[in-house]
Amino acid sequence: MLAEPQHFSVAEKIIFAAMVVASGYGFWRRFGVVLNKILKSKKDANFKLFPLGKRVWDFSWEVLCQAKVIRERPLPGLAHAAVFWAFLAFALVTLNHCATGLGLGFLSTDGAISRLYFYFAAAFAFFCAVGIAGLFIRRFLVRPKWLGAKLSWESGFIAFLILALMATYLASFFVADADPAARVLWWLHTLALLTFLPLIPHTKHLHLVLSPDSAAGRR
């Protein structure tokens, strides 16, 4: 069963809160500049909201289902989709994880629905770990010629952080709440998460935030 330490000292809560603020500031310091440029950019004179159904379909099919990515490059596309779907599945897990650090966790392993959701997220975590490992091997070990000779160590570090997030989450299923290992895993997961967040606006992974909006807004 998923181990999620529920009791943190005041010092731990203060340290965690400071880490969240620092990570959030690091994210916004860059993303705020990007967002400001987008908001000040010239409006598209040909923009039309309707047909709304077409926009909803494009968003659902191309973004949520990752259909275009999978169609163009099936195996890498599936690996990429597995990572993307895991991020969606982890939305409540991450919110609960952060809330737990402040003593406000809202998902309990005692509840049947919460346990089902934790296992649901674990399935996506497993496939995400497989997918990110596959993408790492493809980019760094069996690199296609069309990707060029230059290696992106930035991508390698991001892959490591994502793998760490998935691995620490999955590992927590095998320790008890009272086990000191549960707290170690919690902090390792936290460190990976809060390191990853401010890196997003500085890397190509900014599309995690912007691509849904652009897909929904495309004619």
Q: What is the pLDDT of residue 1?
A: 54
Q: Using one digit for the tens of pLDDT, what is the confidence trace for 39-53?
A: 888 777 777 767 788
| Cα 129-175-93 angle, rounded to 5 deg | 50
217 has a pLDDT exceeding 60: no
The least confident of 119-128, 157-166, 175-184, 208-217 is 208-217
Spatial separation of the C-alpha atoms in residues 166 and 83, rounded to whole Å: 10
Residue ranges per domain, the chain? Answer: 69-217
Spatial separation of the C-alpha atoms in residues 111 and 99, rounded to whole Å: 17
4 has a pLDDT exceeding 80: no
Q: What is the pLDDT of residue 94?
A: 94
106, 136 Cβ separation under 8 angstroms: no
Residue with the bigger pLDDT between 6 and 46: it is: 46
Q: How far is CA 43 from the centre of its chain?
A: 30
90 has a pLDDT exceeding 90: yes
Spatial separation of the C-alpha atoms in residues 193 and 198, rounded to whole Å: 9
Q: Count H helices, E strands: the chain?
A: 9, 0
158 has a pLDDT exceeding 50: yes
% of the chain exceeding 90 in pLDDT: 42
This prediction has a pTM of 0.83
> Cα separations (Å) of 147 from 11, 73, 138, 143?
47, 13, 10, 7
Confidence of residue 136 (pLDDT cuts 50, 70, 90): confident
Q: What is the pLDDT of residue 138?
A: 81
